[in-house]
């Protein structure tokens, strides 16, 4: 799996076929099937392994807010380290029989908010989706740019103006911070309401 991930990092996910991986290992392609059943199993294994490389803080933070921030930042660091794997992580289901360490930490932090099991699941999915979605927007998918010859949008078309002035990748940090702040603020309000009930 390490060889497949390295190949994806250097040449893109499309390069990850059995023949190329076998070349990297200096073995016959057919011998790989002794370790993975098929291409789907290979992709699943790559997703599980790369999730296991997330640089988690060694100890949970005292405040759940700080813990969620640290985990979101760690997840984002891994995504930026492996941009070719973003489509894979966005489309492959997580093997819940072997919950990634980061998910366990996220759920533990959300439990400290006072959320129900179902609310913890919703919140964990929302946080992961925000981080992964922004990474896809900025490094995993090309922006849609308006051709230079097209006249600038008029003031009556605010959405067209936004697309025309789509922020550069440098604004990714600001968007991430805003999304994370909004997410945590929402959880704090839920916590206050739960304590008042």
Cβ–Cβ under 8 Å, residues 132 and 79: yes
Cβ–Cβ under 8 Å, residues 135 and 90: no
CA distance 56 to 43: 23
Minimum mean pLDDT among 56-60, 143-147, 161-165: which range?
Answer: 143-147
Question: What are 165's two structure tokens?
Answer: 């002035």
* Kind plus residue range of the DSSP H or E element containing 134: helix 117-135
Residue 197 has pLDDT above 80, yes or no: no
Question: What are 128's two structure tokens?
Answer: 């992961």
Q: Considering only CA atoms, which of 60, 58, 57, 44 is closest in space to residue 97?
A: 44
Mean per-residue pLDDT, 29-55: 84
- What's the pLDDT at 144? 44
- What's the pLDDT at 164? 47
For residue 86, the SS3 value is: helix
CA distance 80 to 96: 24
- 3-state SS, 19-63, equals HHHHHHHCCCHHHHHHCCCCHHHHHHHHHHHHHCCCCCCCCCCCC
- The residue to which tokens 């308006």 are assigned: 146
Mean per-residue pLDDT, 50-71: 94
């Amino acid at each position: 799996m390490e060889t497949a991930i390295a190949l994806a990092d250097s040449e893109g996910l499309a390069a990850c076929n059995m023949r190329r991986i076998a070349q990297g290992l200096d073995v016959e392609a057919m011998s790989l099937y002794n370790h993975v059943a098929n291409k789907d199993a290979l992709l699943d294994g790559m997703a599980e392994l790369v999730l296991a490389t997330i640089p988690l803080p060694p100890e949970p933070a005292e405040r759940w807010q700080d813990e969620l921030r640290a985990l979101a930042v760690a997840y984002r660091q891994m995504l930026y380290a492996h941009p070719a794997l973003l489509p894979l992580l966005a489309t492959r289901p997580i093997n819940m029989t072997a919950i990634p360490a980061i998910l366990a930490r996220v759920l533990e932090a959300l439990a400290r908010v006072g959320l129900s099991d179902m609310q913890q699941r919703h919140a964990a999915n929302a946080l992961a989706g925000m981080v992964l979605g922004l990474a896809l927007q900025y490094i995993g998918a090309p922006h849609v740019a308006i051709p230079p010859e097209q006249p600038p949008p008029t003031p009556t078309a605010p959405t067209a103006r936004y697309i025309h002035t789509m922020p550069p990748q440098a604004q990714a940090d600001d968007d991430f911070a805003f999304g994370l702040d909004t997410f945590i603020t929402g959880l704090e309000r839920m916590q206050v309401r739960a304590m008042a009930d």
